[in-house]
């Protein structure tokens, strides 16, 4: 029997999120360095769990600044470090790896931090775009200008194959703004229409400004520990019922199929199998939305809709307030915040919804699923979070 | 090596230069060095031999009306800085 088939949610093997918090503010924070954002988020998350920094024996974050800088700044000498850096989904992988480490006895209490001065660029690492790098050789010569001009390329093929309309793509932003309007911490809260989206300036046709994520400063952190301690913390435990990770290709041109995310699909299957759930069990969903097409790919890859139907599913109101499948309820990367590696904020909202403390709270969330993206559809992590241990 | 089967029995060969337009965006926020061109397409083409690659489309206006998915294209080369880069234009068009 494979190890994955063991009941991961039994009391002796279960793992929980015991603390979760963001930086005090999000948005434009030129007074904060990247490391300061990590530190503030970490302090807030540890306090949220009712712990002290000396209780932490594992640290995970992306390079840079990496777990050594973060742990040192916090006065922690961890016995477990994870510097996995595979893009904005990395924090979901940190949760997955932390769960494994806790089960293996390598750590008891793991702190996962994110901080990014994405807008102000204080202490931020430049993108590696040397002429000899893979994007330097095969993308930069054609005038790519960051994710807006590469992550976006697959959608036209999807539109031709499946009939997604420009109006349906625009409606993804409209639906998420409805959630953001209920969230005082969201950067953009004013209602918008499809016409507003299509009238916003073109960034990379067919994408308009309002179909592209924000660029902000901010951070978030999580405390992960074993479920046998679930009653010891200030807030309700959020059980990690299933996790998955996968990848597609390192460059958008090599993505296996421009009409579906292989990484989302495989990571989702792994997480759902471990949790023993189907899409019908999911009360709340977060899908990393760097651009308006990504939730469409996510809904289909995880089987929430049939292939080609997610655009209509969103346009019909199913994912907005009052809909059957609340999606990106913080407002998402399109309206809430997007530091560059948004995955941490998607997890934070999943945790808030399971705890029942979200700004735009969905009633009775027993299971929340968080779908992360890294790079340009390059990597994915998926988490199944639950109010109950199984 | 071949990522499908792991075989080391691979070789270089000259491709036909024929391709079809697989997908693209029209970039309105030019990269450094591309400021003078106006909005330009960043495309992925499907080579006749199978692989896909990123490129720019030349010899035809870079508009949604002119750039039709699956249209047939032919390679042409252009010197950009130190490198000669493969670009694609409409098949059969005089250049």
Q: Do A203 and B28 touch (CB under 8 A)?
A: yes
Q: By C-alpha distance, which of A304, A298, A248, A244 is closest to A273?
A: A244
Give Cα A362 to chain centroid, integer Å: 18
State the number of CA atoms in the 13 A half-sphere of B19 facing the CB: 26
Q: What is the Rg, in whole angstroms, of the alpha carbon atoms belonging to chain A?
A: 19
Chain B touched by A4 (CB under 8 Å): no
- Enter the CATH code of domain A3-124+214-386: 3.40.47.10
The H-or-E segment that residue A376 falls in is none
Nearest-by-Cβ selection for A153 from B24, B28, B29: B24
> For B81-92, what is the mean pLDDT?
92
Give Cα A290 to chain centroid, integer Å: 10
Residue range A187-198, pLDDT digits in tens: 999 999 999 999
Question: Which residues 39-78 on chain B approach chain A with CB closer than 8 angstroms?
Answer: 39-40, 42-44, 52-56, 64, 69-70
Q: Do B42 and A253 touch (CB under 8 A)?
A: no
| Burial call A59-88: b when 16+ CB within 10 Å, e when fewer | bbbbeebbbebbbeebebebebbbbbebbb
Whether the upstream peptide bond of residue A65 has omega within 30° of 0, thus cis, is: yes
* Distance (Å, whole) CA A380 – CA A378: 7
The H-or-E segment that residue A96 falls in is helix A90-104
Residue that is written with structure tokens 């508009």 in the block: B63
Least trusted range by pLDDT, from A137-146, A203-212, A245-254, A356-365: A137-146
Q: Which pLDDT value is given to residue A5?
A: 46
State the number of CA atoms in the 13 A half-sphere of A295 facing the CB: 38
Contact assessment for residue B28 and residue B41, using Cβ atoms and an 8 Å cutoff: no
3-class DSSP assignment, residue A210: helix
pLDDT at A3 over 90: no
Chain B touched by A145 (CB under 8 Å): yes
Residue range A15-69, pLDDT digits in tens: 999 999 999 999 999 999 999 999 999 999 999 999 999 999 999 999 889 999 9
Nearest-by-Cβ selection for A139 from B52, B54, B80: B54
Minimum Cα–Cα distance from A159: chain B residue? B23
At A138, give phi and psi (nearest 5°): -115, 0
pLDDT at A223 over 60: yes
Q: Which pLDDT value is given to residue A9?
A: 43
**ipTM summary value:** 0.95
Q: Indicate the pTM of the whole model.
A: 0.96
At A166, give phi and psi (nearest 5°): -60, -35
Domain parsing of chain A, residue ranges = 3-124+214-386
* CA distance between the termini of chain A: 20
Give the helix, strand, coil percentages of chain B, each rounded to 5.
5, 40, 55
Give strand ranges (E) for chain A: 15-22, 58-60, 80-82, 109-117, 202-205, 207-208, 217-226, 238-247, 284-287, 367-371, 379-386
Residue range A276-298, pLDDT digits in tens: 999 999 999 999 999 999 999 99
Distance from CA of A305 to the nearest CA of B (A): 24
């Amino acid at each position: 029997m494979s190890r994955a088939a063991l009941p991961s949610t039994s009391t002796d093997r279960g793992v929980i999120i015991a603390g979760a918090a963001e930086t005090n503010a999000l948005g434009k924070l030129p007074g904060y360095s990247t490391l300061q954002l990590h530190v503030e988020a970490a302090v807030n998350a540890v306090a949220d769990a009712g712990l002290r920094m000396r209780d932490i024996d594992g640290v995970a974050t992306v390079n840079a600044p990496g777990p050594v800088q973060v742990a040192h700044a916090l006065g922690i000498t961890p016995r477990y470090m994870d510097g996995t850096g595979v893009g904005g989904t990395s924090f979901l992988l940190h949760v997955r790896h932390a769960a494994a480490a806790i089960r293996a006895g390598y750590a008891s209490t793991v702190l996962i931090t994110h901080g990014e001065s994405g807008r102000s660029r204080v202490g931020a690492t430049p993108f590696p775009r040397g002429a000899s790098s893979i994007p330097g050789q095969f993308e930069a010569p054609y005038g790519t200008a960051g994710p807006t001009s590469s992550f976006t390329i697959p959608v036209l093929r999807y539109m031709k194959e499946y009939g997604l309309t420009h109006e349906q793509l625009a409606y993804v932003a409209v639906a998420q703004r409805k959630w953001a309007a209920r969230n005082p911490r969201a950067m953009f809260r004013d209602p918008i229409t499809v016409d507003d989206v299509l009238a916003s300036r073109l960034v990379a046709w067919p994408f308009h400004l309002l179909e592209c994520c924000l660029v902000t400063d901010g951070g978030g952190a999580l405390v992960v520990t074993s479920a046998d301690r679930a009653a010891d913390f200030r807030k309700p435990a959020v059980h990690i019922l299933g996790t998955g990770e996968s990848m597609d290709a390192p460059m958008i041109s090599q993505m296996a199929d421009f009409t579906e995310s292989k990484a989302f699909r495989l990571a989702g299957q792994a997480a759902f199998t471990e949790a023993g759930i189907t899409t019908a069990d999911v009360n709340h969903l977060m899908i990393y939305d760097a651009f308006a097409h990504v939730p469409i790919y996510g809904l289909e890859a995880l089987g929430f809709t049939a292939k080609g139907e997610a655009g209509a599913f969103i346009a019909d109101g199913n994912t907005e307030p009052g809909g059957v499948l609340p999606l990106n309820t913080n407002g998402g990367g399109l309206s809430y915040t997007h530091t560059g590696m948004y995955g941490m904020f998607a997890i934070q909202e999943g945790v808030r919804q399971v705890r029942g403390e979200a700004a735009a709270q969905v009633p009775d969330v027993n299971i929340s699923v968080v779908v992360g993206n890294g790079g340009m559809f390059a990597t994915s992590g998926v988490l199944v979070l639950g109010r109950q241990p199984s | 090596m071949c990522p499908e089967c792991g075989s080391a029995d691979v070789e270089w060969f000259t491709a036909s230069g024929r391709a079809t337009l697989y997908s693209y965006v029209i970039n309105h926020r030019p990269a450094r060095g591309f400021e003078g061109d106006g909005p330009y397409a960043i495309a992925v083409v499907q080579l006749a031999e199978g692989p896909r690659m990123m490129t720019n489309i030349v010899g035809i206006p870079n508009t949604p009306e002119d750039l039709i998915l699956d249209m047939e294209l032919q390679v042409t080369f252009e010197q950009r800085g130190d490198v000669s880069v493969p670009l694609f234009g409409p098949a059969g068009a005089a250049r």
